[in-house]
Amino acid sequence: MKKFIALILIFVSIFSNIALGLDLNGTVDYLKKEELEEWGLLALYSQGESINTKSLEKIHSNITTDYEAYVVGALALGEDVSREVEIIKKAQMDNGKFSDFIDGSGEDLINAHIWGIISLYSAGEDGFDKTKALNWLRKNQNGDGGFPIYRGDSNSDLDMTAMAIVAYKALGLNKDSEEVKNGIGFIEENIGRRESCESIAWHIMARISVGMEVDKSLYNKLLEYRLEDGSFKHLKSMSKGSYMATWHGVMALSDYQRKGSIFDKLNRLNSSKKFKDLKDKDYGYDEIIDLVSRSVVSGYPDGSFRPNNEVKRAEFAKFLIYGLGMQGEISISTNEFNDLKSHWANQIVALAVKKEYIKGVGNGKFAPEDRITGAQVAAMLVRAKGLENEAKEIKGEKWYEGYIRVAEKNNLLYENFDPNSYATRAQCAVSIVKLSR
């Protein structure tokens, strides 16, 4: 009897997958008949459809969001967006916000800021002030965890909140950050009362973006908005589908099937093109691109990544904090170390020391510019993993032997590990990705 039931379940699963594929084909066909702009093209691209015969008209506007939308659509087409990226970057104001207009004016629209972040992230561009962008976004999150459409409005919007969560992810925050938790909490508490196709689609995309599970019931709820012709309707009470609801549905379903965000896909693709000295067969390539996509590391102004450069202690502190998605916790400076008072990594190191991941070198010094050895890397990884007590229980001739054994046991070390050799950027990238999994 159990075998019979198992076979039935397998059959149902296979049938459901086939049915889903047929339904999505109908939805794709519906979209193809529409006059496609940026979002329709992005939706088709997310579903793996060929859009090589499509095109977009260049933007000539003073509205920042026009350029931001163009970027994500043009990236799907594989077009050069360097002009638009520069325009968006120049629209970032001194307070960190991406202005409503490209001349640097306008502070009212939350979406101008959110899509400034997401569009630049999709393009693999990190040449803007991410710290200020993050701080501005955080300051404009309402007390209920949501985000309004207009700055200062206490009425939070479901779709805008989900988009903000995608922007938080683009700035390196993860599902464990308070900002993301509060945003998801607002959506979950309110989506039942203000439900629409778009709000459910964005809820799915936001959760997937930060690596949260998407319950099958949420997925099924989105499918309830789909009509027989393949289109999606905005509200359940409607009898006719709409272009906007349909591209939302396609993007969310594609993210769900792929178990990954379309914006992450664009970022990885464009980040991999950035570095003239990095090839896909190089050691640590996948891990480097992963960290670049999460804004943990970046390249140099000349277009290089320099994977074999040796890492300094301050740099590795950033690797740790950003790799673990803790940049949202960076807040205060430290006066504990004499050689760190005016250093760019002061606040990062302050948090790493507070978390007890890293320590000074004695005599009131941190030695931020000293290169980091393999042994030091192993110790910091073990501390960040919460396994220092286990390491201390292991006795050996060298201070680091316990740390190395625990790090090996937990698969935290890079290839060709040597405790006495200086660690490279590529090697550190490999270990940080292992730690953050």
* pLDDT of amino acid 159: 97
320 shares a domain with 260 = no
* pLDDT of amino acid 298: 85
Walk along the chain (437 residues) and give the pLDDT tens digit of each residue. Answer: 444 444 443 334 434 444 444 357 788 888 888 889 999 999 999 988 888 788 899 989 999 999 999 999 999 999 999 999 999 999 999 999 999 999 999 999 999 999 999 999 999 988 899 999 999 999 999 999 999 999 999 999 999 999 999 999 999 898 989 999 999 999 999 998 888 999 999 999 999 999 999 999 999 999 999 999 999 999 999 999 999 999 999 999 999 998 899 999 998 888 877 788 998 889 999 899 888 877 788 888 888 999 999 999 999 999 999 999 888 788 889 999 999 988 999 999 999 999 999 999 999 999 999 999 999 999 999 999 999 999 999 988 999 999 999 999 999 999 999 999 999 999 999 999 999 88
Q: What distance in Å separates the CA atoms of residue 76 and residue 58, rounded to the nearest whole number? A: 15
337 shares a domain with 202 = no
Three-state helix/strand/coil letters over 91-147 = CECCCCCECCECCCCCCCEHHHHHHHHHHHHHCCCCCCCHHHHHHHHHHCCCCCCCE
71 shares a domain with 217 = yes
In eight-state DSSP terms, residue 327 is: G
254 shares a domain with 130 = yes
* pLDDT of amino acid 23: 52
User: How many distinct structural domains can be found in the chain?
Assistant: 2
215 shares a domain with 104 = yes
108 shares a domain with 253 = yes
Domain span holding position 222? 2-267
Local structure of 423: helix, strand or coil: coil
3-state helix, strand, coil in the chain (%, to 5): 55, 5, 45
In eight-state DSSP terms, residue 394 is: S
411 shares a domain with 323 = yes
